[in-house]
Structure 1
Amino acid sequence: MAKQDRAIRTRQAILEAAAAVFDERGYEAAKLSDILRLAQVTKGALYFHFDSKEDLAHAVIDAQVSVVPTAPPQISKVQEFVDVGMVFAHRLTCDRVLSGSVRLTLDQGGHELNRSGPYREWTEINLRLLTAAKEGGELLPHADPEEIAPLVVGSYAGLNLMTHALEGHRSSMERWASALYHHLLPSIVVPSVLTMLDLEPGRGARALGVSENGS
């Protein structure tokens, strides 16, 4: 059991170090030697868990959805839909694995990488919640979850690219996510539901029950 726990910790340390290096440098410029140094592990330990730099990058990409805490269930499925995005934006500022995964997903280098997974998974999550909202009478009759779900995922991708290009970080993502929902939701959500939604910056932390000091 001790060896198994140690192996789990080692793999996580490598994953976090790789995410940090990928986030800072992108896939092409990232070096395994830098990941080894940051993770403080041997080359043998790295290759025990990952076959190659490409394999390691895919593990970071695949972690994107799993590292984000699930937004707590809400009576309003539209609020839960919003919370998924706001929690994501909030975690971008404090979770290096998520940030590194997003960088790899959006990075134009490393053409051998398969980046489709996170796009499909986020679209499926949004579609499930929007479909439940439609069935519960929270969406206007013309609102089509099949169109809205990928539209929001694509909007997040664009906002991530823009904020990183303009600011070199993503600390303003939740503010832009809030603006996205303020403009989008009035056109698809029943007015009586819309007035009850929390769309303001900071919703990600509030949904998780996290205070301003992170506790």
Structure 2
Amino acid sequence: MARQQERARRTRAAIIRSAAVEFGKSGYAAASLNRILEGSRATKGAMYFHFDSKEDLARAVLDSAIERYRITIDRWLVRTDLGSLDILHGVLDELALRLEHDIIVQAEFRLVIDPGFHRQGHGGCPMLSVAIRDLTVGAIERGQLRPDTDPGRFTRTLTGALIGQRYMVEAHGGEPDLRTRFRESLEVLVQATCTPAWNEEFGRSGWRASARLEELGSPA
């Protein structure tokens, strides 16, 4: 029984990964179930055992991406050795790495901007927005950002900048350097709202931690 369950789990994961590749390349409407099957090396029966439709497959890709967002955010929120802004930088740096290297997260972005596929909640964005707002509040409380900083405005501005940077890379088909783009977006906003004391310390030390590619592995 345990062997069968593991085989079923691996088959499901292979189908989700193949679906992510197909959605990432073709978009939702043009995605081919036959190409998804070919990429996963699963049978049609196995696919319909796990998924009812192409929409069900797309939801599974989004759910897998959301789990990756959760893993990223949780990994950085437990860093008691870092201040709020360094944690925020770590979250965004790891997210940039995922968008560059993780086919599941790449497909999630393609799906949530695809006019042919709509899902309320937009994948991992609400989770990320909550984390950004909480860390912004923490940065204000710890004297890193000025007391008059509006957490809601800070969160909306930063989230919009990140989405815009990713969209520009997608639209122009260039090689992504999202780590640099995300870091620049964060630094522009932080330097406009930070306290002089934090800015002076940042000038000496820079960001205290960065994401590592080897930490991104996670199950589909």
TM-score, shorter chain, exceeding 0.5: yes
| Alignment partners' CA distance in 2, 1:110 and 1:137 | 43
Q: 1:208 to 1:85 in 2, by over 3 A?
A: closer
Partner of 2:47: 46
For structure 1, which segment, 84-93 or 185-194, has the greater mean C-alpha deviation from structure 2 after superposition?
185-194
Q: Report what 1:178 is aligned to.
A: 183
Residue 166 (structure 1) aligns with: 172
- The whole-number CA distance in structure 1 between the counterparts of 2:180 and 2:20 is 24
Within a 5 Å distance, the mapping from 1:15-164 to structure 2 comes to 15-68=16-69, 69-70=71-72, 71-72=75-76, 73=79, 74-111=81-118, 113-164=119-170
| Cα distance in 2 for residues equivalent to 1:115 and 1:18 | 20
CA contact (8 A) 1:17 1:35 kept: yes
Residue 38 of structure 1, CA deviation: 0.3
Give the equivalent residue in structure 1 for 2:217: none
Q: Is the 1:64–1:102 contact (alpha carbons within 8 Å) kept by the matching residues of 2? A: no
Q: How many residues align?
A: 205
SS of equivalent residue, structure 1 residue 110:
coil
Q: Residue 12 of structure 2 contacts residue 50 of structure 2 at CA under 8 Å; is this kept in 1?
A: yes
Is 1:208 matched with 2:211? Answer: yes
Q: Which amino acid aligns with 2:184?
A: A
> Which shows bigger deviation, 137-146 or 62-71?
62-71
Over 3 Å counting, the alpha-carbon distance change for 1:114 and 1:43 in structure 2 is farther
| Alignment correspondent of 2:11 | 10
Shift of 1:63: 2.4
Farther-moved stretch of structure 1 (59-68 vs 13-22): 59-68
TM-score by length of structure 2 reads 0.83
The answer on whether the counterparts of 2:144 and 2:195 sit within 8 Å (CA) in structure 1 is yes
Cα displacement (A) at 1:46? 1.2
Runs of 5+ unmatched residues, structure 1: none
Deviations 1:60-118 (A, max 9, x none): 1222232244243242111111211111111212111111111111222224x435342
Between the aligned partners of 2:38 and 2:174, the Cα distance in structure 1 is 24
Give the 3 Å change call, closer, same or farther, for CA 168–58 of structure 1 in structure 2: farther
- Which SS does the other structure have where 2:145 is aligned? coil
Q: Is the 8 A contact 2:99 2:105 kept in 1?
A: yes
Root-mean-square deviation over aligned CA pairs: 2.3
Task: Tell me the distance in 2 between the aligned counterparts of 1:185 and 1:173.
Answer: 18
Return the offset for 1:182: 2.4
Separation in 2, partners of 1:44, 1:161:
36
TM-score by length of 1: 0.85
- Give identity over the alignment, percent: 31
CA–CA distance in 2 between the matches of 1:93 and 1:116?
A: 19
| SS of equivalent residue, structure 1 residue 160 | helix
